Amino acid sequence: MQAEHFKIKGMEQQFVEFRYMEYNILLTRFEKIRVESSSEEARFLYFIYIFRKENKVVGKNQDKQTFNIICFNRVYHTYNEFMQNIDAILSEYILDEEELWKCLKLAKKLNPDYIRKLMNKE
């Protein structure tokens, strides 16, 4: 996925992508529309999308094409809720513990505190 696929003018968004075998895992954070809350947690929604690449024969010429089939998607209203559930969900698709750990580390980049610290360094 590319960053421009997620651009919504005036809204903050962030995503990380992880690939494991035939699975493409997309973890995203989008700013809620018209939220007037002082809490950083209340400003965002967190999404998990898991796609599986599948090759299928199509057409009269028996051409082979690759399709992304959605296996799982869910939305969470807080970062803490997102992180509490993500380990169990990802372990169903990522069987290698080292790869699972890498994906969980990437998910931490969606933490509003992580983004704030990153911006303060610049």
pLDDT tens for the 122 residues of the chain, in order = 444 544 555 556 777 888 888 889 899 888 777 656 556 667 788 899 999 888 777 777 777 888 888 888 999 988 889 889 998 898 888 888 898 888 888 888 888 776 666 566 65
What span, in angstroms and rounded, lies between the C-alpha atoms of 76 and 93? 19
CA distance 97 to 59: 40
**Do residues 103 and 18 lie in contact, with contact meaning Cβ atoms separated by under 8 Å?**
yes
pLDDT at position 11, please?
Answer: 55
Residue 6: the pLDDT is 47
> Which one, of 117, 108, 121, 77, lies nearest residue 14 by Cα?
108
Delimit the domains of the chain by residue range. Answer: 3-117
The predicted pLDDT at position 10 comes to 52
CA dihedral for 106, 14, 81, 86, sign (positive or negative): negative
